[in-house]
Chain A
Amino acid sequence: GDSVTQTEGLVTVTEGLPVMLNCTYQTAYSDVAFFWYVQYLNEAPKLLLRSSTDNKRTEHQGFHATLHKSSSSFHLQKSSVQLSDSALYYCALSDRGNMGYKLTFGTGTSLLVDP
């Protein structure tokens, strides 16, 4: 089955500095989409950005990610983090498998931005 790996459980960054959250995946399907969801404390997960196109940069709210099928990666980056970026970030994929479009999530990375 599909799998998504997020190697960092917690990332701490000083405000104004860049950050990269790692995401790699395994899937046997070709019709696949990739997502980053963000979850603020006591809130529902919300879509941050998504992509299904190889080597195309996707941007939203200052964050960007590029799907690289050659390395099975979809890392999330931001050039200058803000205190309000502190949240839990999930990488996920959805494939056109036999049973439809469930999301397979990584274990999540908590981003803590220090002043």
Chain B
Amino acid sequence: NAGVIQTPRHKVTGKGQEATLWCEPISGHSAVFWYRQTIVQGLEFLTYFRNQAPIDDSGMPKERFSAQMPNQSHSTLKIQSTQPQDSAVYLCASSSGQQANYEQYFGPGTRLTVL
């Protein structure tokens, strides 16, 4: 079991460019989550898929952020027209269960730097 895989591990973009982040959840896990981590805000929820269907995107900045899960083996987080304040570590997590106490397994994250 390779765990949750995220690519790239580091990405540097110029202001106004697009960034696409990839996540491969643990095989067999039905839930995929995206979080953003910054020093100031800590870990913040962005969006959540269950069985590939979008369930909750309440944490997503509405205008430039979008997420998809086209198949059970990967999810993408796309940020259009990146801004310096988007610089953060973006973490993907997956979970096997549908109860509140199920563990979420985190990937190593993608560190996005917007110049």
Q: Interface residues, chain A, CB within 8 Å of chain B?
A: 31-33, 35, 37, 43-47, 50-52, 90, 92, 94-96, 99-108
Interface 9-mer from B19-27, B70-78, B104-112: B104-112
Determine the distance from Cα of A51 to Cα of B48 in the docked complex, in whole angstroms.
22
Determine the distance from Cα of A37 to Cα of B33 in the docked complex, in whole angstroms.
16
Which B residues lie within 8 Å of A46 (CB)? 106
* Residue of A37, A101, A106, A107 ringed by the most chain B CB atoms within 10 A: A101
**B45 within 8 Å of A (CB atoms):** yes
**B61 within 8 Å of A (CB atoms):** no
Q: Which of B20-65 contact A (CB under 8 A)?
A: 31, 33, 35, 41-45, 48, 50, 55-56, 58-59
The count of residues in chain B whose C-beta lies closer than 8 Å to any C-beta of chain A is: 29
Taking a contact as CB atoms under 8 Å apart, the answer to whether A44 and B56 are in contact is no
B87-115: contact bitstring with A at CB < 8 Å (1 yes, 0 no)? 00001010100111111101111000000
Taking a contact as CB atoms under 8 Å apart, the answer to whether B100 and A102 are in contact is no
Task: Find B48's partner among A37, A50, A102, A105 (CB 8 Å cutoff).
Answer: A102
Which B residues lie within 8 Å of A33 (CB)? 99-101
Given contacts A99-B56, A108-B43, contact A43 B108 (CB under 8 A): yes
Determine the distance from Cα of A95 to Cα of B31 in the docked complex, in whole angstroms.
15
Taking a contact as CB atoms under 8 Å apart, the answer to whether A94 and B44 are in contact is no
